[in-house]
Amino acid sequence: MGTWGVDSFDNDDAGDFVAALEADKSEPPVVNAERVIAALDAVFAQSAQGLDAGVAAIGVAAADIVATSLGQSRATEKADPYELENALKFNDDAVGKAVAVLSRVRADGSELAALWDETDDAEDWRTALSALEARLRKAAETHGLDPTFVPEDEGGMSEEQTIRDTVDQVYDDMMVEMERVADTGAGDPQVEMLRHLVRKMHLVHKDITNMRYFVVDSLDTLTARIDRIEKAGQ
């Protein structure tokens, strides 16, 4: 990885990443927003104890783009050069992921950190990361976003589990509201019949949803086992 400075874009990997963003500027902003999020996720896809330097460098560049897109650019940078502000605010965990990426990049086990620690500029590099983190936290504060994100391998929930919990909460809230409305007509035979039907529908929904989750989890487990068997046979 060619490197000529301590800032986020002062290396070949970050340069290639930015070039890809530039190439897709004519596409809807969501295309590049997804590329930025994917670059952050790529850091968490690797072991914290063996984070590749190139993946880390691209992750830092993506984190910087998140900050810049949300109004926290450096004095020498154009604000939101890829027009990603709205798309990244929609991905409301983007700032949290960016902050978590910086923690991974400078932690023990990061190849990039190890490489910098062998140079005279290690302290400057870490200072640059701290400054970027401060910009990200300021962006989170400005836009009312959460700057915290816990990766799965550190005890955080998977995206799938987060969606499941959200759906369950929505249905639970809906049932509370339905019961409240039904209480206003308590004693009316038709209201009580409808209340009974809604409760049964809710139970059926939970049974179907739980069965779907069971099937999906079973298929994921089976796929993982097949992959391990295939790799062992190679």
Residues 43-67: tens digit of each pLDDT:
998 888 889 999 999 999 999 999 9
Is there a contact between 156 and 48 (Cβ–Cβ < 8 Å)?
no
SS3 category, 49: coil
Q: Does 2 map to a domain?
A: no
Q: Are residues 65 and 135 in the same domain?
A: yes
Q: Are residues 138 and 219 in the same domain?
A: no
Q: Does 197 map to a domain?
A: yes
Q: Are residues 133 and 25 in the same domain?
A: yes
Q: Is the pTM of this model over 0.95?
A: no
Q: Which structural domain, as residue segments, surrounds residue 177?
A: 159-233
The confidence score (pLDDT) of residue 24 equals 81
Work out the pLDDT band at 41, boundaries 50, 70, 90. Answer: very high
pLDDT of residue 165 exceeding 80, the answer is no
Q: Does 4 map to a domain?
A: no
Q: Percent helix, strand and coil across the chain, each rounded to 5?
A: 70, 0, 25
| Residue listed under structure tokens 């910098």 | 116
Provide the domain count of the chain.
2
pLDDT of residue 157 exceeding 60, the answer is no
Q: Which of 55-69, 70-84, 189-203 has the highest mean pLDDT?
A: 55-69
Which segment of 57-71, 85-99, 188-202, 203-217 scores lowest on mean pLDDT? 203-217
Span 214-218, mean pLDDT? Answer: 71
In the listed set 131, 151, 171, which residue is the last one of a domain according to the structure?
151
Query: Pick the residue with more confidence: 24 or 224?
Result: 24
The confidence score (pLDDT) of residue 154 equals 67
Q: Are residues 44 and 114 in the same domain?
A: yes
Is there a contact between 67 and 98 (Cβ–Cβ < 8 Å)?
yes
Beta carbons within 10 angstroms of residue 211's beta carbon: 10
Q: Are residues 176 and 66 in the same domain?
A: no
Q: Which of 35-39, 159-163, 175-179, 227-231 has the highest mean pLDDT?
A: 35-39
SS3 category, 110: strand
Question: Whose CA is closest to 89, among 35, 30, 143?
Answer: 143
Q: Does 123 map to a domain?
A: yes
Query: Pick the residue with more confidence: 39 or 207?
Result: 39
Q: Are residues 176 and 119 in the same domain?
A: no
**Which tens digits make up the pLDDT trace of 93-127?**
899 999 999 999 999 889 999 999 999 999 999 99
Query: Pick the residue with more confidence: 160 or 179?
Result: 179
Q: Are residues 97 and 203 in the same domain?
A: no
Is there a contact between 41 and 100 (Cβ–Cβ < 8 Å)?
no
pLDDT of residue 87 exceeding 70, the answer is yes
Q: Are residues 70 and 168 in the same domain?
A: no
Beta bridge partners of 110: 51
Work out the pLDDT band at 172, boundaries 50, 70, 90. Answer: confident
pLDDT of residue 191 exceeding 80, the answer is no
User: Which DSSP letter does residue 184 get?
Assistant: T
In the listed set 151, 169, 195, which residue is the last one of a domain according to the structure?
151
In the listed set 104, 127, 151, which residue is the last one of a domain according to the structure?
151
